[in-house]
Amino acid sequence: MELAIQSAHLASLPRRVPYVTQVAHIGHIPEKTNWIDREFEVMAFSLILSGRGHLYVAGRELEIRAPCVIVEYPPLHFRYGPTPTWQEVYISYPGSCLATFSQMGLVRPDRFTWPIRSMSKCKRLLDELADLLRHLDVPGNADRVDRLAERIISETLLDAEEVVVDAAHRSLLELKGYVEEHYLEELDFDGVARKFGFSPSTFRRVWLKHISESPVRFVNDLRMKQACRLLCETDLPIMEIAESLGYGDPLYFSKKFRKHTGETARDYRRRYLSLTAGR
């Protein structure tokens, strides 16, 4: 996964609206090879985005398979690392944040790792984080990093805690995560189904049992949500947005967008701009 996240030390940066959990450091290691073997004095959440390895903690041996999150905290001794490499983004906090994270449910003595089920959502949030880290000189951006970092951690856990009914449901969740990561591509759902161990007919039956809309509509909704974000957060021409989402025909994109939102893309952008003008 390509990420533009740069390492940043935030502990010394002033906050305009101090937050209960303030990030101390953020780092990105595209190809980590070394192992960690020490008692932790800080709180840390490591997002393992590719690769695999092992984690040894509290007398347990856990297999680490990306994408997932590892949580480390004092005073436990952690030994973990890749075999042979993995990509990691880590977010660290002062050890004093342990009590707060425990109250929030992000730290539990019986849980040291959880899967990242939606890589597309995680990637969007990490890209937003990368943009903030590039502009830490802007007043308030350190505060925004604090809140976004907590959201990234919380979102991965909320998705991971979806109740898995059976093995087919587990495979479906993995397939759904694949679709969320590749929704801008032309997806052959029969081929994707086979990739995750489903026949085309079984895939559609299991999908509709657990997800309230068809695979095609699910992808279209993801594209429309991205279109809304691009209309509000960028000044890209509507035709360029349509092309970036895989719609070669701007008229077809306009028709799909209006059906999804009830208004044209131009009106949607204009309304957003009018709501935010002068703020």
- pLDDT, one tens digit per residue, over 97-139 is 999 999 988 999 889 999 998 888 899 899 999 999 999 999 9
Residue 159's pLDDT band (boundaries 50, 70, 90)? Answer: confident
In a domain, 1, yes or no: no
- Domain hosting 186: range is 167-212
Confidence of residue 167 (pLDDT cuts 50, 70, 90): confident
Residue 102, pLDDT score: 93
Residue 90: what pLDDT? 97
Q: 195, 212, 229 — which closes off a domain?
A: 212
Percent of the residues in the chain that have a pLDDT greater than 70, as a whole number: 97
One domain, residues 21 and 144? yes
HEC per residue, 83-132: EEEEEEEEEEECHHHHHHHHHHCCCECCECEEECCCHHHHHHHHHHHHHH
**30 confidence band (pLDDT: 50, 70, 90):** very high
pLDDT of residue 207: 92
Total domain count, the chain = 3
The band of 36, judged by pLDDT with boundaries at 50, 70 and 90, is very high
CA distance 138 to 155: 26
* Residue 256 and residue 190 in one domain: no
Residue 44 pLDDT > 90: yes
Over residues 6-23, the mean pLDDT reads 91
- CATH number, domain containing residue 46: 2.60.120.280
Whether 138 and 206 map to the same domain: the answer is: no
What are the residues whose beta carbons fall under 8 Å from the beta carbon of 90, sequence distance 6 or more? 25, 26, 27, 29, 44, 45, 46, 47
Q: What is the pLDDT of residue 171?
A: 86
Dump the DSSP string for 42-69: SEEEEEEEEEEEEEEETTEEEEEESSEE
The answer to whether residues 155 and 171 belong to one domain is no
3 belongs to a structural domain: no
DSSP assigned state of 75: T
Q: How confident is the model at residue 60 (pLDDT cuts 50, 70, 90)?
A: very high
66 with 31, same domain: the answer is: yes
Please tell me whether residues 230 and 208 are part of one structural domain.
no
Asked whether residue 145 falls in the same domain as residue 100, the answer is yes
Whether 205 is in a domain gets the answer yes
Residue 150: band (very low, low, confident or very high) from pLDDT cuts 50, 70, 90: very high
Tokens of 8: 């940043």
Kindly state whether residue 42 falls inside one of the protein's structural domains: yes
For every residue of 205-264, DSSP letters joined together read: HHHHHHSSS-HHHHHHHHHHHHHHHHHHH----HHHHHHHTT-S-HHHHHHHHHHHHSS-
What is the Cβ-side half-sphere exposure of residue 25, based on CA atoms within 13 angstroms?
A: 11
Find the mean pLDDT for residues 173-177.
85
φ, ψ at 237 (rounded to 5°): -60, 150
Do 248 and 201 belong together in one domain? no
Q: Is the pLDDT of residue 279 over 50?
A: no
The arithmetic mean of pLDDT across residues 37-62, rounded, is 94
Residue 2 in any domain: the answer is no
Say yes or no: 152 and 16 in one domain: yes
**Mean pLDDT, range 137-166, rounded to an integer:** 87
Same domain as 129, residue 227 = no
What's the whole-number average pLDDT of the chain?
90
How many angstroms separate the Cα of 265 from the Cα of each of 223, 239, 249, 259, 271? 13, 10, 14, 11, 10
Residue 214: which residues within 8 A CB-CB, separation 6 or more? 207, 208
Q: Which comes out higher in pLDDT, residue 82 or 273?
A: 82
Please indicate, yes or no, if residue 197 is contained in any of the structural domains. yes
Q: Is the pLDDT of residue 278 over 60?
A: no
Residue 94 lies in a domain: yes
110 and 199 share one domain: no
Are 227 and 155 contained in the same domain? Answer: no
DSSP code, position 16: S
